[in-house]
A and B are shown apart, each in its own frame.
Chain A
Amino acid sequence: DTAVSQTPKYLVTQMGNDKSIKCEQNLGHDTMYWYKQDSKKFLKIMFSYNNKELIINETVPNRFSPKSPDKAHLNLHINSLELGDSAVYFCASSHSVADTQYFGPGTRLTVL
């Protein structure tokens, strides 16, 4: 039944490591997003893909690289993790770029 799912839900890792977060949606949507929620609960867009094409790339360090193997999946790979990367990362999807976005459960990343 899960519409937008993310794995893992929790991720604890050491500084300098490389990690990936996976996102899958079974809603048939063609647009997917990554948002970052910091420790003060502020949410900000990072990336967006429409039909596997990158359409939004906000000011994000190039250590962050999204990958969309197909319309139902959008993964986020992070290289050389830093303390400041600790946050909750949300995946979202929408039917089209103009439609309402539905969010996954979030992945809490903690960098030690």
Chain B
Amino acid sequence: AQTVTQSQPEMSVQEAETVTLSCTYDTSESDYYLFWYKQPPSRQMILVIRQEAYKQQNATENRFSVNFQKAAKSFSLKISDSQLGDAAMYFCAYRRWGTGTASKLTFGTGTRLQVTL
């Protein structure tokens, strides 16, 4: 079974600085997808970024980028120029390639990010 591990329960970053959130996963599959979702205090789950395992290039979305290391099964999220609005729980998630039961997301336990002035 696939598992996703986020080893940092809490992180803190100063406004305008850069922070990296860690995620590792375990799978025997070669094709899959990885995601970072953000959950602010409003509890809405918001997609931050998505990475296809077959793509060697790391995904980026504005201030958010990932470092995808397939061999190491590592998928970290870098937030540059942190803003107060980035304060939230961040969840790493894995999805197997394919249809049917493969569509389920397996989540990590989350990292709570605090942004200080």
One of A41, A45, A100 near B104 (C-beta < 8 A): A45
Q: Given A45-B104, A55-B100, A97-B103, are A102 and B110 also a contact pair (CB < 8 Å)?
A: no
Q: Is the interface of B mostly helix, strand, loop or mixed?
A: mixed
* A48 x B45 contact (CB < 8 A): no
Give the residues in chain B near A20, CB-CB below 8 Å: none
One of B99, B106, B109 near A98 (C-beta < 8 A): B99
Give the residues in chain B near A106, CB-CB below 8 Å: 43-45
* A55 x B101 contact (CB < 8 A): yes
* A42 x B98 contact (CB < 8 A): no
- Cα A88 to Cα B91 with chains together (Å): 15
* Shortest Cβ distance from residue B9 to the other chain A in the assembled complex, whole angstroms: 10
* B47 x A97 contact (CB < 8 A): no
Which range holds the interface residue count of chain A?
A: 20 to 34
* Residues of A18-60 whose CB lies within 8 A of B: 31, 33, 35, 40-45, 48, 50, 55-56, 58
* B109 x A55 contact (CB < 8 A): no
Q: B residues within 8 Å of A by Cβ?
A: 35, 37, 39, 42-47, 50, 89, 91, 97-107, 109-110
- Cα A7 to Cα B46 with chains together (Å): 19
Q: A residues within 8 Å of B by Cβ?
A: 31, 33, 35, 40-45, 48, 50, 55-56, 58, 88, 90, 92, 94, 96-98, 100-103, 105-106, 108
Give the residues in chain A near B43, CB-CB below 8 Å: 88, 105-106, 108
* B98 x A98 contact (CB < 8 A): yes
* B107 x A44 contact (CB < 8 A): yes
Interface centre among B42, B89, B98, B100 (most CB of A within 10 A): B100
* B109 x A40 contact (CB < 8 A): yes
* A103 x B50 contact (CB < 8 A): no
* Shortest Cβ distance from residue A91 to the other chain B in the assembled complex, whole angstroms: 10
* A56 x B104 contact (CB < 8 A): yes
* A48 x B103 contact (CB < 8 A): yes
* B110 x A41 contact (CB < 8 A): yes
* Shortest Cβ distance from residue A68 to the other chain B in the assembled complex, whole angstroms: 15
One of A31, A43, A100 near B91 (C-beta < 8 A): A43
* A41 x B105 contact (CB < 8 A): no
